[in-house]
């Protein structure tokens, strides 16, 4: 039977669950996920680096999901095929190259004042002492930042969120062929129309936005759907995952008031706190791969075509790497968590996500002396691939 990434124990007590699982080896078959689970930190890291034997390509799975579906659903598959994180080299390199310059440490550091202004504006818009921290804080901040980077109108962020939610159902689906296509088709049509107009604008009158860099780079000659795909990946990854990180961290802080007091007293430690939040409640629980050719890994025989899950959640609670992994240590150093991936597929927006989370959390806790839940905090919800918390109300003063 093997471990199950989505079972209740794996979600509620990951350190204990995966600690027990690792006793049976770093690589194990899971009947629940119908594939191999890579569990140890060392093996997950190695798996991220091994793009030759573990393929990130999901275009085949998406194409199979489109068989017998509408033409509109086929366009959704075409769009996702342009997402660099679903591609292997050389396609991955071609799609990543024109974008990576916008997310270097220097480029992101230059955005600090802009992000601070967006955070301050979001807090200034709070209406009353009880606030929905998802709707008023965790959602608008990353969406506004990434819209600005792409040269889109930040006021359109509500539309982005709806489209991203609908496409996310397909992106994170264990069985894409079973996803209802109506919401996905509508979201893709909206994305294509919206970014098609922005792409044409950039061709006519280039700006300094990331979108302009894409359009006027070597990939600018790709198809419209491939260009729109690159834009939607940046938009989806740039606000969806950061929003989830912020929501997860806020729920954790509301559950643990002693952490709030500590962060207030040690604002200089917010960067290390963000890293610990990524370790214990980051958005990604695993990353799927496909065995590209037969090989042995962790003492197990992996066969071409089999599914593999790089279990980030297990690696992040590996006792051989993290002392007392069940504890939340906001000063943990070193903290080589795997929340942003590793190697070739290391998250392009990691620097930006860190900046946004640091400024957002620090500003919120410093501006309000009272920070407590205004009702029950919903339990965590997760799948084999993702982790998230539901909206929560907070009482602030």
In tens, the pLDDT along 331-348 reads 999 999 999 998 877 888
Tokens of 389: 């918390």
CB atoms within 10 A of CB 223: 10
Q: What is the mean pLDDT of residues 3-10?
A: 95
Q: Please identify which residue in the block is written with the tokens 């300094």.
A: 208
Tokens 């489109």 correspond to what residue?
A: 66
Does residue 94 register a pLDDT over 80? Answer: no
In whole angstroms, what is the distance from residue 72 CA to residue 194 CA? 16
Output the six-digit token pair for 180.
């209802």
Examine residue 290 and state whether it is found in any structural domain, yes or no.
yes
Cα separation, 384 vs 288, in Å, equals 10
Give the torsion through C-alpha atoms of 216, 81, 245, 195, to 10 deg. 40
DSSP 397: -
The pLDDT, as a whole number, for residue 220 is 55
Other beta carbons less than 10 A from residue 331's beta carbon: 12
With a cut of 90, say whether residue 185 has pLDDT above it: no
The residue that leads in pLDDT, 221 or 392, is 392
Residue 376 has pLDDT above 70, yes or no: yes
Does the residue 271 lie in any domain?
Answer: yes
Summarize pLDDT for 222-281 with one digit per residue, the tens.
677 777 877 887 877 777 889 999 999 999 999 999 999 999 999 999 999 999 999 999
- Describe the crossing of helices 140-150 and 350-367 by its angle, rounded to 10 degrees: 140
For residue 78, give Cα distances in angstroms to 174, 213, 327: 19, 22, 43
Q: What is the pLDDT of residue 147?
A: 86
Give mean pLDDT, residues 354-378. 94
Residue 384 lies in a domain: no
Structure tokens at 391: 């909206």
3-class secondary-structure state, position 133: helix
Q: Reduced to 3 states, what is the DSSP secondary structure of residue 383?
A: coil
Q: CB neighbours of 162 closer than 8 A, spacing ≥ 6?
A: 187
Share of the chain above pLDDT 70, in %: 95
Mean pLDDT rounded to a whole number for the chain: 88
Mean pLDDT of the region 77-105: 74
Consecutive H or E run containing 149: helix 140-150
Tell me what pLDDT residue 172 has: 66
Can you give the pLDDT at residue 338?
A: 97
Domain of 65 in residue numbering reads as: 8-377
Q: What is the CATH number for 216?
A: 1.10.630.10
- Domain assignment of residue 383, yes or no: no
Domain presence at residue 385: no
**323-335: pLDDT as tens digits:** 999 999 999 999 9
Q: Is 343 helix (H, G, I), strand (E, B) or coil?
A: helix
Residues 252-272 as b/e (b if ≥16 CB within 10 A, e otherwise) read: bbbeeeebbeebeeeeeebeb
Q: How many domains does the chain have?
A: 1
For 311, the 3-state DSSP assignment is: coil
Position 173 pLDDT exceeds 70? no
CB 79 within 8 A of CB 232: yes
Amino acid 222: pLDDT: 67
Rounded Cα distance, 206 and 210, in Å: 10
Using DSSP's 3-state secondary structure scheme, residue 316 falls into: coil
pLDDT at residue 221 in the model: 63
pLDDT recorded at residue 13: 95
Buried b (16+ CB within 10 A) or exposed e, 125-156: ebeeeebbbbebbbbbbbbbbbbbbbbbeeee
Scan for tokens 């509408």, then name that residue.
70
What pLDDT digit, counting tens, does each position of 129-148 carry? Answer: 999 999 999 999 998 998 88
The CA distance from 333 to 336, in Å, is: 8
Q: Which is more confidently placed, 90 or 195?
A: 195
Which of 119-128, 211-220, 302-311, 380-389 is the least confident region?
A: 211-220
pLDDT the model gives residue 246 = 95
Tell me the pLDDT tens digit for each residue of 214-235: 788 766 566 777 778 778 878 7
184 belongs to a structural domain: yes
Report the C-alpha gap between 243 and 248 in whole angstroms: 9
């Amino acid at each position: 039977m093997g471990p199950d990434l989505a079972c209740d124990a794996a979600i509620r007590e990951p350190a204990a669950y995966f600690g027990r699982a690792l006793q049976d080896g770093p690589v194990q078959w899971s009947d629940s996920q119908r594939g191999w689970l890579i569990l140890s930190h060392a093996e997950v890291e190695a798996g991220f680096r091994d793009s030759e034997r573990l393929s990130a390509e999901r275009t085949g799975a998406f194409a199979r999901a489109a068989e017998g579906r509408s033409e509109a659903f086929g366009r959704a598959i075409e769009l996702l095929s342009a997402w660099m994180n679903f591609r292997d080299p050389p396609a991955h390199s071609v799609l990543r190259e024109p974008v990576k310059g916008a997310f270097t440490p220097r480029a992101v550091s230059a955005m600090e004042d802009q992000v601070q202004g967006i955070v301050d504006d979001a807090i200034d818009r709070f209406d009353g002492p009880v606030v929905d921290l998802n709707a008023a804080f965790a959602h608008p901040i990353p969406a506004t930042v990434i819209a600005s980077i792409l040269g889109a109108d930040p006021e359109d962020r509500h539309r982005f969120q709806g489209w991203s939610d609908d496409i996310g159902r397909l992106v994170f689906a264990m069985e894409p062929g079973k996803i209802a296509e109506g919401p996905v088709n509508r979201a893709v049509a909206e994305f294509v129309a919206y970014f098609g107009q922005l792409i044409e604008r950039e061709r006519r009158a280039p700006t300094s936005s990331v979108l302009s860099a894409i359009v006027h780079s070597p990939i600018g000659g790709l198809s419209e759907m491939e260009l729109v795909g690159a834009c939607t990946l940046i938009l989806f990854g740039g606000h969806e995952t950061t929003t989830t990180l912020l929501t997860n961290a806020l729920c954790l802080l509301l559950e643990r008031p002693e952490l709030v007091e500590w962060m207030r007293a040690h604002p200089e430690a917010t960067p290390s706190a963000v890293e610990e939040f990524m370790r214990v409640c980051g958005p990604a629980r695993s990353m799927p791969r496909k065995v590209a050719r037969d090989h042995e890994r962790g003492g197990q025989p992996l066969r071409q075509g089999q599914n593999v899950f790089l279990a980030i959640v297990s690696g992040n609670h590996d006792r051989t790497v993290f002392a007392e992994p069940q504890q939340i240590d906001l000063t943990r150093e070193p903290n080589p968590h795997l929340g942003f991936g590793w190697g070739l597929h290391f998250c392009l927006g990691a620097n930006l996500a860190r900046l946004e989370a640091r400024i957002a959390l620090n500003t919120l806790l410093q501006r309000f002396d009272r920070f407590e839940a205004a009702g029950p905090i919903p339990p965590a919800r997760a799948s084999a691939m993702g982790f998230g918390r539901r909206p929560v109300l907070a009482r602030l003063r």
